[in-house]
Amino acid sequence: MKEDDPNIKWVEEPKLGLTGRMYLPLIAGGLTTTIKHLVSPKVTVSYPDEEPEIGNKLIYRGVHRLNRDEQGRVKCVACFLCATACPAHCIDIIGIESPWEDREKYPESFTIDELRCIYCGMCEEACPVDAIELTSLYNLTGRSREEMIFDKEKLLSVYDATKDSEPMQSVTQEGST
Amino acid sequence: MSDPSPLLAGVKILALVAGIMTGAAYFVLLERRMAAWVQDRRGPNRVGIPLTKIRLFGLGQPLADGLKMILKEEYTPGHVNRRLFLLAPIVIMAAALAIFAVIPFGSSLPPIPALGIDEPIDLIVAPQVDVGLLYVFALSSVAVYGVILGGWASNNKYSFLGGLRSSAQMIAYELPLGLGILGIVLAGSSLGLNDIIDRQAASGVWFLMAQPLGFVVFLIAAFAEAARLPFDLPEAEQELIGGYHTEYAGIKLVLFLTAEFIHMITASFLITILFLGGWHFWGLTGSPDAEITWPLALIRIVVLNTKIFCVILFFMLARWTWPRFRFDQLMTLAWKVMLPLGIVNLVSVAILREILHPTHLGGSLGSGGSLFLECLIGWAVAIGSWAFVAWIGPLVADNRPRLDIHPREVDPQI
């Protein structure tokens, strides 16, 4: 690229006028901006005292849940697509033959290591039956590493706790095909 | 004049040091809160009374900060010059505190017969020192030693660079600082800070109104001497990690940081006393010769401290308004702008003093007339010289590359 390349547009900065050279108008302008920010409303959320507002709960990526179908059974068909898609390898599924007529397999155990998870939402996107979803619960704490490995019951209980505030994203779709 | 009894002086020193140190701790909190507010944050507002849940807007934060710094490991690196390394924070802190020996922190208290004190108590540690300003100057120069010692003893190139920058900056800005003060000394006919306040209180005209140019020069030089933004090159974190105190930790670091804050408080005291009338406010504080009573003494203390507080607020606002100067801009401002402006101010004040002397023109104008003329000429000189400087060489530092010297360069590899 040469200096006279027609793709380069050389911009001249405007020259300072006498008011700019006097410096005082610039000082006044700068101080006005500072004082404006000094008294403006603050953006900080004082967390334990006030909860942050989550814009759209359905697209927030917090703790996972395992959805239930209408009969209260786990929707998951143990297809391992979420575990395959997971970049952090935090999903561990043991799938066995399903006791129900409408599907071949179901998860005997379904555990997610919430400490390992990076909350990318790939599992939610990969799931063909919308069984795994990310909720808007963000304040996830535990006293030990073991406590943070969520098993199937815990993930289902997350669904029970959040199903009213965050409806399943595709209720019409059945658990299996 | 009060009786210079050692006990009274001891009480004054105790009150002053306690006040300054507490004040510095709380100004750190104020600085952090102001910084947060300007950046649309809330700042430290959680620490309140220890062991309770009472928050008090974060007023317990200085205590927590102090405890944390004291309990930290006080690590001395192996490669430092140990004696100088220890000496530096002591020097800087001692010099910063000793300045307050001649700075009045009020006017005076009425006599307290119950304690055997039957003369008014001057609110100044060393009331009979006539060379107050010289003493302040001498000690503020000693403070530079602390910085250079710290930088040198650390045996680290960043610290050394910070120390050298600091020394260059302090020496450059001491000249305009002195020129700003000289105008006041001429107009106030005294080096004692109490006499300068009395002078302003007697005439009712603060030196800000009579010598605006001197005020601007002194204000900018005071910012530079206190190493506050936009003149904080000695400790520019982005360039020097921490400057001269990079290698310091624990309580030694606290000494450096507190000394820096005390420099700012000193600068505010000097600005208030020299240019903003000290404890004087029209219609509130009475004439300097009036009999001192308790309400009058308290009002004067409140007025003085309110002014100082406002100046410190301005210091903190300025921090978030101006970006830091480049080093060459810093030096240009000192030698090519502030020094000539200071000389202009000094010469104009000197000529005015001569013309308005009672034996010359001042006698025929009367005191009111000559004061009015003094202010008028002071403002004319200030505006005129400021505009002249703006016309020949702007105070605005032009960062753009000089295209007439360096033609545009385009990387041929692209």
* Residue listed under structure tokens 């391992």: A80
- Please state which of the ranges A136-140, B241-245, B363-367 shows the lowest mean pLDDT: B363-367
CB contact under 8 A, B400 and A34: no
Residues from chain B contacting residue A40 (CB–CB below 8 Å): 40
**Which of A87-91, B227-231, B355-359 is most confident?**
A87-91
Count of positions (residues) in chain B: 414
CB contact under 8 A, B42 and A18: no
Question: What distance in Å separates the CA atoms of residue A148 and residue B138, rounded to the nearest whole number?
Answer: 64
Of B317, B395, B400, the CB nearest to A23: B395
CB contact under 8 A, A21 and B394: yes
Supply the pLDDT for residue A112: 92
Q: Report the b/e string of A142-161 with b at 16+ CB within 10 A.
A: eeeeeebbbebebbbebbee
Question: What distance in Å separates the CA atoms of residue B60 and residue B67, rounded to the nearest whole number?
Answer: 11
- State mean pLDDT over B122-128: 76
What is the per-residue pLDDT across B219-259, written as a single tens digit (0 to 9) for each? 999 888 888 878 887 777 777 777 788 888 888 888 888 88
> Residue B394: is its pLDDT beyond 90?
no
> Residue A87: is its pLDDT beyond 90?
yes
> Which chain A residue has its CA at the smallest distance from B35's CA?
A38
* Percent with pLDDT over 70 in chain B: 94
Distances (CA, A) of B81 to B156, B247, B325, B380: 11, 12, 32, 53
- Please state which of the ranges A45-59, B138-152, B183-197, B235-249 shows the lowest mean pLDDT: B235-249
Distances (CA, A) of B357 to A45, B42, B296, B389: 64, 55, 33, 30
* Percent with pLDDT over 70 in chain A: 93
Q: How confident is the model at residue A177 (pLDDT cuts 50, 70, 90)?
A: very low
Of A8, A10, A34, the CB nearest to B38: A34
Task: Report whether CATH 3.30.1330.10 matches the domain A64-162.
Answer: no
What does pTM read for this prediction? 0.80
Mean pLDDT of chain B: 82
Judge whether A3 and B408 are in contact, CB under 8 Å.
yes
Residues from chain A contacting residue B39 (CB–CB below 8 Å): 37
Neighbours of B362 (CB within 10 A): 20
Question: What distance in Å separates the CA atoms of residue A170 and residue A151, rounded to the nearest whole number?
Answer: 23
Supply the pLDDT for residue B4: 58
Question: What distance in Å separates the CA atoms of residue B244 and residue B153, rounded to the nearest whole number?
Answer: 9
Supply the pLDDT for residue B1: 45
Judge whether B31 and B316 are in contact, CB under 8 Å.
yes
- State mean pLDDT over B60-67: 85
Interface check B289 vs A, CB under 8 A: no
CB contact under 8 A, B38 and A13: no
> Residue B22: is its pLDDT beyond 80?
yes
Q: How confident is the model at residue A1 (pLDDT cuts 50, 70, 90)?
A: low
- State mean pLDDT over B157-166: 84
Q: How confident is the model at residue A86 (pLDDT cuts 50, 70, 90)?
A: very high
Question: What distance in Å separates the CA atoms of residue A124 and residue A131, rounded to the nearest whole number?
Answer: 8
> Which chain A residue has its CA at the smallest distance from B322's CA?
A30
Question: What distance in Å separates the CA atoms of residue B143 and residue B259, rounded to the nearest whole number?
Answer: 9
What is the per-residue pLDDT across B296-338, written as a single tens digit (0 to 9) for each? 888 888 888 899 999 999 988 888 888 888 888 888 888 888 8
Interface check B317 vs A, CB under 8 A: yes
Phi, psi of B275 (to 5 degrees): -115, -25
Residues from chain A contacting residue B317 (CB–CB below 8 Å): 31, 34-35, 38
